[in-house]
């Protein structure tokens, strides 16, 4: 279905609107706003006739700003047939298109075009309507300029990459058209368009701005906001697999430290685990894993690949804790008798929430930039001023530092979210920290299986890589243009790094989901086995699952022991099928559509790839939204 065109007026472009443009929606110019565009272009032409010195119009650029253009070429053999003002703009584009590396993805380039058109619609750039419409036609016809990724220092804006974009308008450079990579002239010809001859300041208007860093920043933000939500799902599934404690997510708790992201994350986790039969389950109902033995189960449960165990706590070891053991049965299984979980579970709101706050700050900055003028000089045709330098003002709106620092904040947040996810994954596979789950989430009765052990290695490698890449580019300025541009933002590198890092963050979250789904299955199977065992037998049979503390059958305390085992049996037998919350069951079901439970070692590479795909395409997130919202 064809999307409605996005109307651009320089003032009202939203992030959602830009994402539509990035995904191929056409753009349309607001007719009322075009009046201002024409007025600024006419004003510049009038000033040139007055032979006024105007930066980048009748002077050179950067370190050449002190050189005024003459009436004709100093040497006749240099004559190109263009006026010096036309040649100045043309040369600006053709000599600045020097980026290197792999081309940006089409959605990045389309977003850059949308941003550039929108800022030019503010009516302070001096571009002619015909040139602006040529840029619109190029986008709407499906021409995607080839823009290599490396070359912008983020001031004066994204000069080099935007020159790669603009050079196609002149019939130069390269572009993708209908899946083919062709030269710029051919690209225009294939779509029935003709090259543009640039007029006063139009080269500057086209290449002097923050479009690359803004486009990559917005696309990365869109991806990261989805990843943040999916990270909450992964965390909630892990919490369910641990039969975790929910007090740390209570609304009244976070009202006392109301960082917005923290409050939002806690609320999201509460929604995700609502209806859980695992979270806050009494300690004694969670058995711990024990190695399978030939006599572990009777025929009805012989298919299980594990055994279960509890420890009994004799009355002689309950001094000072009698009230606790009145409320909870004196058996210790997989869940420790403590009211708190480890930081990677208990501090989900504080850590995930801080990442959300970083994204929110970036969104605030990017939304301002999206409808800002970012080229130079700025044309004020209506200014009540006497001198042209007061109406065509050289300023620094091309400087990308507002975006660079916002992206630095996000860049630092990415490995933080990846790291806490990997720590939860590690807890799940480590039998020393998994609250009674088997090592590497596999039965391994013959000691030949690795289960999910190496998945954690992959997550650890990615986290380290993300941490290594998180150094802020914005702290290191390298002057350019013979020191005329003596402080630059490096914001283009910053945003480009964030865009590439986002996908790797998504991989870590996908790995947690992959492992948590296995852990959730194992936990439910173990508890269900305990329920089935208790339902089908008497206290003496259940007593066989007590590993430590069980008194000798001839001792005086054996009767006390059996009485308490009977109470445990009754409590287990009163339970039905144990389930996670509806939201987490929906996420788990979506994973199990493609990846089956693993009861024996098998090749995991394609399963890992599928888990990553399910995170990236939003299938898990969509399944959970449907379960929560309906």
Residues with catalytic function: 55
Can you tell me the distance from the alpha carbon of 180 to that of 164, in angstroms, rounded to the nearest whole number? 17
Would you give the end-to-end CA distance of the chain in angstroms? 25
- Of the candidates 433, 439, 464, the one whose C-alpha atom is nearest the C-alpha of residue 452 is 439
Two tokens, residue 172: 């130069």
- Asked if 171 and 184 touch (Cβ cutoff 8 Å), the reply is yes
- Of the candidates 399, 383, 402, the one whose C-alpha atom is nearest the C-alpha of residue 391 is 383
From the number of C-beta atoms within 10 Å of its C-beta (0-12, 13-18, 19+), residue 456 rates as buried
The secondary element (H helix, E strand) that includes residue 34 is helix 31-49
Query: What are the phi and psi torsion angles at 545 (to 5°)?
Result: -90, 5
- Can you spell out the DSSP letters for 212-245? HHHHHHHHHHHHHHHHHHHHHHHHHHHHHHTT--
Two tokens, residue 141: 């016809």
- Name the DSSP class of 597: -
Contacts of 434 (CB under 8 A, 6+ apart): 242, 334, 427, 428, 519
Can you tell me the distance from the alpha carbon of 58 to that of 47, in angstroms, rounded to the nearest whole number? 10
- Asked if 530 and 308 touch (Cβ cutoff 8 Å), the reply is yes
Can you tell me the distance from the alpha carbon of 105 to that of 327, in angstroms, rounded to the nearest whole number? 60
Strand partners, 332: 311
Contacts of 384 (CB under 8 A, 6+ apart): none
Dihedral (C-alpha) 203, 204, 210, 213: value to the nearest 10 degrees? 40
Strand partners, 308: 289
Two tokens, residue 347: 């501090």
From the number of C-beta atoms within 10 Å of its C-beta (0-12, 13-18, 19+), residue 481 rates as middle
- Of the candidates 72, 53, 74, 76, the one whose C-alpha atom is nearest the C-alpha of residue 64 is 53
Strand partners, 548: 311
Is the peptide bond between 130 and the residue preceding it cis, with omega within 30 degrees of 0? no
């Amino acid at each position: 279905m064809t999307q409605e065109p996005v109307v651009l007026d320089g003032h009202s472009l939203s992030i959602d609107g830009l994402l539509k443009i990035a995904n191929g929606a056409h753009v349309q110019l607001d007719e009322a706003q075009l009046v201002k565009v024409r007025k600024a272009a006419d004003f510049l032409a009038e000033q040139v006739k007055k032979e006024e010195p105007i930066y980048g119009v009748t002077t050179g650029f950067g370190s050449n700003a002190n050189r005024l253009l003459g009436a004709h070429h100093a040497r006749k053999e240099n004559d190109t047939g263009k006026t010096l003002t036309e040649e100045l703009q043309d040369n600006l584009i053709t000599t600045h298109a020097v980026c290197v590396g792999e081309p940006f993805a089409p959605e990045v380039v389309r977003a850059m075009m949308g941003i550039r058109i929108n800022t030019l619609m503010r009516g302070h750039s001096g571009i002619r309507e015909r040139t602006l419409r040529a840029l619109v036609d190029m986008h709407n016809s499906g021409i995607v300029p080839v823009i290599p990724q490396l070359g912008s220092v983020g001031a004066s804006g994204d000069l080099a990459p935007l020159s790669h974009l603009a050079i196609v308008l002149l019939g130069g450079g390269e572009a993708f058209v209908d899946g083919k990579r062709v030269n710029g002239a051919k690209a225009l010809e294939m779509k029935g368009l003709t090259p543009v001859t640039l007029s006063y300041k139009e080269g500057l208007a086209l290449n002097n701005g923050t479009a690359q860093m803004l486009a990559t920043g917005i696309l990365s933000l869109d991806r990261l906001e989805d990843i943040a939500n999916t990270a909450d799902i992964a965390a909630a599934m892990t919490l369910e697999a641990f039969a975790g404690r929910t007090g740390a997510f209570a609304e009244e708790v976070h009202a006392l430290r109301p960082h917005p992201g923290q409050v939002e994350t806690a609320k999201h986790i509460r929604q995700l685990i609502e209806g859980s039969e695992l979270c806050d389950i009494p300690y004694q109902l969670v058995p711990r894993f024990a190695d399978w033995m030939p006599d572990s189960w009777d025929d009805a449960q012989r298919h299980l690949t594990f055994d279960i165990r509890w420890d009994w706590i004799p009355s002689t070891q309950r001094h000072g804790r009698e009230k606790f053991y009145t409320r909870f049965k004196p058996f210790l299984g997989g869940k420790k008798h403590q009211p708190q979980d480890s930081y990677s579970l208990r501090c989900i709101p504080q850590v995930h929430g801080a990442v959300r706050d970083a994204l929110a700050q970036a969104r605030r900055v990017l939304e301002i930039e999206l409808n800002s003028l970012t080229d130079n000089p700025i044309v004020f045709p209506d200014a009540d001023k006497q001198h042209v330098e007061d109406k065509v003002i050289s300023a620094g709106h091309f400087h990308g530092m507002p975006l660079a620092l916002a992206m630095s904040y996000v860049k630092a947040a990415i490995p933080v979210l990846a790291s806490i996810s990997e720590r939860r994954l590690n807890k799940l596979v480590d039998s020393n920290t998994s609250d009674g789950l088997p090592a590497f989430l596999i039965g391994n009765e013959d000691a030949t299986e690795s289960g999910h052990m190496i998945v954690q290695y992959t997550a650890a490698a990615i986290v380290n890589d993300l941490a290594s890449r998180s150094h802020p580019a914005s702290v290191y300025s390298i002057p350019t243009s013979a020191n005329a541009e003596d402080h630059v933002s490096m914001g283009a590198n910053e945003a480009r790094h964030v865009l590439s890092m986002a996908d790797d963050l998504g991989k870590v979250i996908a790995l947690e989901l992959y492992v948590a789904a296995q852990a959730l299955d194992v936990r439910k199977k173990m508890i269900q086995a305990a329920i089935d065992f208790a339902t089908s037998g008497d206290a003496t049979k259940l007593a066989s699952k007590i590993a430590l503390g069980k008194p000798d059958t001839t001792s005086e305390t054996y009767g006390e022991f059996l009485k308490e085992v009977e109470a445990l049996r009754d409590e287990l037998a009163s339970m039905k099928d144990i389930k996670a919350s509806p939201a987490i069951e929906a996420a788990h079901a979506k994973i199990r559509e493609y990846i089956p439970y693993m009861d024996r070692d098998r090749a995991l590479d394609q399963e890992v790839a599928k888990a990553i795909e399910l995170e990236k395409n939003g299938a898990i997130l969509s399944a959970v939204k449907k379960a929560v919202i309906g």
